[in-house]
Amino acid sequence: MNQMHSSRWIVLDTETTGTDADNGHRIIEIGCIEIVERRKTGNNFHVYLNADRDSEEGALRVHGLTREFLADKPRFGDIAAKLLDYLDLDAGPEIVIHNAAFDLAFLDAEFARLDPSARPFSESLTVVDSLQVARERHPGQANSLNALCKRYSVDATARTLHGALLDSELLADVYLALTAGQAALSLDLAVESVEQRLSVDPRRLPRRTIVPSNADLERHSKRVEALVKIAGDAVVWRQMAP
């Protein structure tokens, strides 16, 4: 997997007929959420797929996608080009996946069926495994998607069954919360770099007033509430509130 920084993230999830891509199990749903400059754009990708096989009993209990429901859906080969167009890999997006090895094994297998001579699809991706990020941030704790939603106050009540688009939507909110501190650090470093290049008193740098929208204020309030649950009264924003 390549590693680099990008302002465009694609949060990706799949549902499959079973757990073993090497044993002929297939992808039956793909869901992607686009984030640009830490904001969800609404430019999402979602498709159900006909895998021409039944799901294992355990997998069916997880996602509820029956062979009958999927019978009239396109096959992977029918949507592969659309998926590649959406990902726009030449632009270097970061692909965020929870437990990435699982989904990548299935994507590699699907693309290999279309062109067995091509290099593995995953080698062309810049991948961030959000499970690994969560384990580094919260060592020794449960870091499943459900556990992270609870930890960061992301509403997962609609997740009665797993679904690729829904899980990508939840993971997008979780990943934004997981990396909130990194964004602040990057901003601090960027400001420091500007100050060094200009060699001026930072108080003399041009300033721009940004008025938050009601939606921004609501998202901020939810983020603060999540931080309060983790840090208690140490949250600075809560101390500064009138």
Catalytic annotation, residues: 162
Closest by Cα among 69, 85, 98 to 170: 98
47 strand-pairing partners:
30
The rounded distance, in Å, linking the Cα atoms of 175 and 154 is 11
The rounded distance, in Å, linking the Cα atoms of 112 and 121 is 8
The rounded distance, in Å, linking the Cα atoms of 89 and 2 is 12
Q: Is 39 left (phi over 0), alpha (psi -120 to 50) or beta?
A: beta
- Whether residue 175 contacts residue 96, with contact meaning beta carbons closer than 8 Å, is answered with yes
The rounded distance, in Å, linking the Cα atoms of 80 and 34 is 18
Angstrom CA distances, 193 to 5, 198, 203, 204, stand at 17, 9, 15, 15
Dig out the tokens for 142 from the structure: 């449960």
Ordered alpha helix ranges (H), the chain: 57-63, 67-70, 76-87, 100-114, 130-137, 145-151, 164-178, 180-198, 214-231, 236-240
